[in-house]
Chains A and B, each alone.
Chain A
Amino acid sequence: MFKKILIANRGEIAVRIIRACKEMGIETVAVYSDVDRKALHVQLADEAYLLGPAPPLESYLNIDKIIETTKKSKAEAVHPGYGFLAENHLFSKRCEDEKITFIGPNSKALRLVGDKLESRNTMTQAKIPIIPGMKMKGGSLKDFEEQAEKIGYPVMLKASAGGGGKGMRIIRSKEDLKFSIEAGMREAKSAFGDESVYLEKCIERPRHIEFQVLADNYGNAAHLFERECSIQRRHQKIIEETPSTALTPELRTEMGKTAVKVIQTANYNNAGTVEFLLDEKGKYYFLEVNARIQVEHPITEMVTGVDLVKSQIKIANCEKLPFKQEELSQRGHAIECRIYAEDPENDFLPSFGKVLFVKEPSGPGIRNDSGLYSGIEVTMHYDPILAKLICWGENRESARNRAIQALSDYAILGIKTQVNYLKDLLSLQEFVDGNTRTDFIPKNMADWKEKNSREKLKEIALIAGAIQSMDKTSVKGKMVKATGFDPWISLGRWEIGA
């Protein structure tokens, strides 16, 4: 087994990976940018090295610097987490060349699945169902216009190197094409360092269902069932659950088999997620392979009992998959709520500043993957995800109720978060009914506002605030207006030790 692993990431996922390493007796190396010196992952790791200034290209995306740090720290392997360099085949290749183990797929498979267009073409040949769309990246605006016309509006703009919704936009008419493509290209460039974009048919009102797959270095692969990730804002998931309410056992088996076939077709190893869209008629299409540990991986861990991060490390260490497909099953139900520093009343604009105080929920069936602590500074440089609350229950309803209760117990003071928004979303009848499609938020949560029926709670807040102010004033030694009983006045003259 590796003696030391460098974690090329930040935030909650770096914390998650560091914990897995510590449990396995592996030493950990954290890297950080200027603004992350006090981040939790830096606090927890055995060693920590500065990469550079805050902008990702100068720190968490700086391949040379990360390789140099890996060598300097004598780490034998690098775990890239999600985002940043996780799906960068150049980084994975560079690790291979430098004899550093990249904890993820081999660079060839990574390059194939990372190129959304090339993987679409490969999967078509393997008879995997795909969404109709462009076979190569767009060049001129005219080229895009023609292709969009051919596919038929609405079309979906996607970054060829993409993932996580960055650079992705729905385009409904020719007029929107120019601005969307330019903005999408800029976003793709800044997020992935590659500005290639393409168009595909926009499937309306789909469900977003993905299958977790693990594949070892010897050709063995198994899927760990699905995750339903249809509830999204700005093409980014905010609530995920497993099992999906939409899959019958037959469809689950079929999609699972397809997912494993996708992974094997790509000669892919380590952990990967095969994403599908499921349309209203129950027809499914291969979307892409997410070649990384995913944000929502904990819900799979909760229902299968398999630790995905440790599995990644063991597979990278050339160990065989310790189970066969038929040995895996789903137990109970798990829901993940992503907690973001953003304002749901104001178009989900990021909110940042100092987190003055945090109290995280705990209790049976509650897992909280977080990079938060009281006093942390949330900066504008990175994705605003703060934490993930994962709740397990013996069935969907108990997981849902547990999540609502745990969210009510989650105090993050000082910055805006969407905790109350998530709580209201989970309470909707549409959610209870499992009627979750990608248009869930515009359909059910548009114009959401904080409830105004909180008079009783307001009163409590005012009372607490006033008493605290009063106590502080008297502690400071200031004269408190003698409005009532005062023991010091009524005590009269006295002496100590008399």
Chain B
Amino acid sequence: MEFEFNLEDKLYKISIEKKGDTYFVDLGNSIREVEFQNISPNCFSLTIDGHNQTVYIAEAENKRFIFVEGEQFVIQEKETAKVRKKEDEAGLIDGKQLVRAPMPGRILKILVSEGERVRKKQSLAIVEAMKMEHEIKSALDGIVKKVNFKENQMVDTEEPIIELEEEK
């Protein structure tokens, strides 16, 4: 069987063959001989080329969280990995900044209004989560095109709170 996994923004191809209780896993560079035992719903014991490994796996939606020797990895099957339009270094897409909350929370304050001119690093909004306040700042000198939220509304990390356009 063939698998394509996304792990830390890299795509890995893996092919496996099972013979008896042994899996032969091809990661592209060499073939590993693996024994795999399911200990409990989340716990697995692997023997890879004779070396023992205990691995914990948990799944949610299309993500799989894997714990190995104190490290946590998140893998996703290729077709399910979501791609968001890439922002440049300044956080801009086509000269626009979509201002999103760094974490889901409640909008405490909106400090600008539509049509207002803003300077780079100017505070735009304050979001509160877990009793802490976080200031959201402008990445550019520009104009507030749209304000999508009101104070006290809840916001996630996907929907832009404010849309800015660069001043040319």
Contacts and interface: CB of A to CB of B under 8 A. Distances in A.
Interface of A: 56, 166, 179, 183, 186-187, 190-191, 234, 346-347, 349-352, 354, 356-357, 359, 374, 380-384, 407-414, 419-420, 423, 450, 454, 457-471, 473, 480-481, 483-485
17 contacts: A187-B131, A187-B133, A350-B130, A357-B56, A374-B42, A380-B129, A412-B72, A413-B67, A423-B70, A450-B71, A460-B46, A460-B69, A461-B7, A464-B53, A464-B68, A466-B5, A467-B25
Interface of B: 1, 3, 5, 7-8, 12, 14, 16-20, 23, 25, 27, 32, 34, 36, 38, 42-44, 46, 48, 53, 55-60, 64-73, 75, 77, 102-105, 108, 123, 126, 128-134
A409 B1 CA distance: 32
B5 A465 contact: yes
B73 A457 contact: yes
B1 A473 contact: yes
A223 B65 CA distance: 45
B132 A466 contact: no
Contacts of B56: 357, 359, 411, 413
B34 A356 contact: no
Nearest to A480: B1
Contacts of A470: 1, 3, 16, 18, 23
Q: Which of B38, B65, B134 has the most CB of A within 10 A?
A: B65
B3 A469 contact: yes
Given A409-B70, A461-B55, A473-B1, 8 more contacts: A357-B65, A380-B103, A414-B58, A463-B48, A464-B36, A468-B36, A470-B23, A484-B17
A331 to B, nearest CB: 29
B102 A346 contact: yes
Contacts of A381: 130
A413 B72 contact: yes
B66 A467 contact: no
A231 B74 CA distance: 29
Contact of A383 (B64, B103, B126, B131): B131
A350 B55 contact: no
B16 A468 contact: no
B44 A413 contact: no
Contacts of B132: 187, 234, 350
Q: Which of A411, A412, A484 has the most CB of B within 10 A?
A: A411
Contacts of B57: 357, 413, 464-465, 468
Nearest to B17: A484
